Amino acid sequence: MRALLLLLLAAPLLAHASYAGRPEVQDFVRDLAKRHGIAEGELKRVFAKAQRLEPVLEAIARPAERVRTWEDYRALLITERRIREGVEFWRKFPRTLERAEQKYGVAPEYVVAIIGVETFYGRNTGSWRVVDALTTLAFDYPPRAGFFRSELEQYLLMAREAGIDVFSVRGSYAGAIGIPQFMPSSARRYAVDFDRNGKIDLQRSRSDAIGSVANFLKVHGWQRDADVAVQARVAGEAWRPFMNGRFEPRHSMTELREAGIEFDSPQPAGANGVLIELANADRPSDYRVGLRNFYVITRYNRSALYAAAVAELAQELRKAYDLGR
């Protein structure tokens, strides 16, 4: 009886012991083999070894951007230590950051801020095997299975192109890789060999990470020397229809002001904006008018909290750097 009970308790684990035996994985393998010429046997060996990660499924269900208020999220990321170490990072790679600004038009503070938010300047790049994390999410997380299957495909292609063992790369619970935490599709599309040594290395090369972040922002429409967002205040009720949860700036400054949204004039003149609400727990929400560069930052992480934190950290980094702190 005890043996039967143990077998029943183990059944869910046995069902996930090998992804290679699951019909949907077999379909995925055949499709990749057909479209990309990867040997089916090689792919089957990968999925026979890939592991289902329960902590990954738990983490994806409660990302910080969804469960934290703005005041908590800001307190987590805009700290004296992150500012101090960001300035140190900037001073360590000034020429690389200047070269990235010249080539891509992105000021150093924004590149440093993104790397600071993502991995604390390369210190925390993730401990999960990327192939395990992506396989788990691709086949055991139905809400975004399509997205993660695409990223898993991109990861396998990236590993083949770079000649690396698919089990050797570690990253975040969502499968993001390296110092800038690029998803595999972004790594294949936007990563650059900025240290010019003949290979792209987002895991160890700070130069490649700097150039790749700047390139990502430029390709998504970053506007050189333009603001990201401005503080805003709301009055009356006419502003409420402008709160639609989208980040693309589609409204003229006149439209926003006529709706009772007050803010200082942003640069460049004539820019469009979008009203952004940053919710707090025990006090009224904070508001921003997001501009084109705010939208671009949300292409990196589709969260208003994330974009607002990057923008504020960048401002603090610039102040501290200019003051020589």
- The catalytic residue positions are 118
SS3 88: helix
- Beta-ladder partners of 133: none
Alpha carbon separation from 194 to 166, 205, 235 (Å, rounded): 24, 9, 47
Torsion 207-209-212-214 (CA) sign: negative
Max Cα separation, the chain? 77
Count Cα atoms within 13 angstroms, Cβ side, for 76.
15
Which alpha helices (DSSP H) does 93-194 contain, by range?
Answer: 94-104, 108-119, 130-140, 145-162, 184-190
Torsion 266-267-272-278 (CA) sign: negative
Give the C-alpha separation, 229 to 21, whole Å: 50
Euclidean distance between the first and the last CA atom of the chain, given in angstroms as a whole number = 69
206 contact partners, CB below 8 Å, separation of at least 6: 89, 92, 93, 96, 122, 179
